[in-house]
Amino acid sequence: MNYKVFAPADCKVSIELPTSKSISNRALVINALCNDAIPAEHLSDCDDTRVMQRAFTEGGNLIDIHGAGTAMRFLTAYYAQKKGHECTITGSERMKQRPIKILVDALRSLGAEIQYLEKEGFPPLRIRGKKLSGGSLSLPGNVSSQYISALLMIAPYMSNGLTLTLTGELVSIPYIEMTLGMMAHFGIRASRTGHSIQVPAGQYRPTPFRVEPDWSAASYWYEIAVLAPEAKIKLPGLSADSLQGDARIAELFQPLGISTRFTPDGIELSKSDHTEKKFYECDLSEQPDLAQTLVVSCCLTGIPFRFTGLQTLRIKETDRISALRDELAKLGYTLTASDSSLEWRGDMAETAPHPSIATYDDHRMAMAFAPAAFRVPGITIQDTSVVDKSYPHYWDDLHKAGFSLSSQPKGDNTL
């Protein structure tokens, strides 16, 4: 289904955000490794987390994770160490184009038995689980943090634990810190010194755990606050001491004129008196999932920008750098892209009539472009069900906030 989206005159609303899929998926892996685990509370109700849950509850020899990149990386590591268990992990056609060689090579060096079933370096995989030796391992620090987190979470169950050295530039460090923080909560205290992480051999301890709301989901409400003529948005449950690196969104949107007030119940967003930025330059290597929201927000508020540290965006659900450039061109914005950056110097072209935004099977494309309805009334968002990956009730929440959503047949991308 496609939606034509019309924005309200203002936005004054309280929204219950989904819980974090990043935290939920880590909790599921740790619980699966833990004897007599205590089920985590408030797990995310999104596609990525449901895929993980099914893999652990249904078992079986064929696991289809569809488009869930986190599940592919985490489950590959988990089943590699599950002694005596054999399985095949596959996914969508896009998943079969997303590289996994770095993780597979790392696991093989630790003793894993993994076979590529189609294209070398890419899913699907055949895994024969066995006790891994562990020891010392080096990985480039600029690879997906999901590879690193996958290895860290299973490291206590390796015979010799794991000393992981990250070489070169480090990206997505907050996601690694999230993993280490959760491991500590369940009784495994790793130590990190610079680029080196030491994880002792051991076992996780069954411990109660509650998943917090998703700061990445909050970013779309920051964007709405920027674009709405007036805004007062309450987001219960978010706190300043979050495990999530994307909590930095509060800082990143301050120069765009949005203030964040932390309360005992959550946060409140409102417009500040002025916008500070005439040109916005920022390294997003530690918060790559916020790139789409910030890029669209800056374009629609007329703030030229240069965002760097985006190298991991090329291997996400889609090539997000190309997708942003191509879809914003429909709105008249001419962006310059490299392998790790996006830049807009204020160049404008003619807006496409009745713009229809392709989402590329990427939840964040849909959610980042829907608020553009404040500037482009009736903008069409294609394949709206993609939001199920992380924020299943996104469209319901927009409706609650006063947005009008007009359903269009899926094949009708011109109205």
Among all residues, which ones are annotated catalytic? 289
Per DSSP (E only), the strands in 329-400 are: 336-337, 342-344, 356-357, 379-381
Q: How many other C-beta atoms are found inside a 10 Å radius of the C-beta of residue 9?
A: 9
Q: In what side-by-side order are the strands of the sheet with 356-357?
A: 356-357, 379-381, 2-6, 404-408
| Secondary element (H or E) of residue 191 | strand 191-193
Exposed/middle/buried for 291, CB within 10 Å: 0-12, 13-18, 19+? buried
| CA atoms of 367 and 100, how far apart (whole Å) | 27
Are 122 and 100 a contacting pair, CB within 8 Å? yes
Alpha-helical segments (H) within 317-389: 320-330, 363-369
| CA atoms of 231 and 371, how far apart (whole Å) | 13
Measured CA distances, 391 to 48, 109, 171, 274, 302 (Å): 10, 37, 25, 31, 28
Write the DSSP assignment of 218-256 as a string of letters.
HHHHHHHHHHSSSEEEEEET--TT-S-GGGGHHHHTGGG
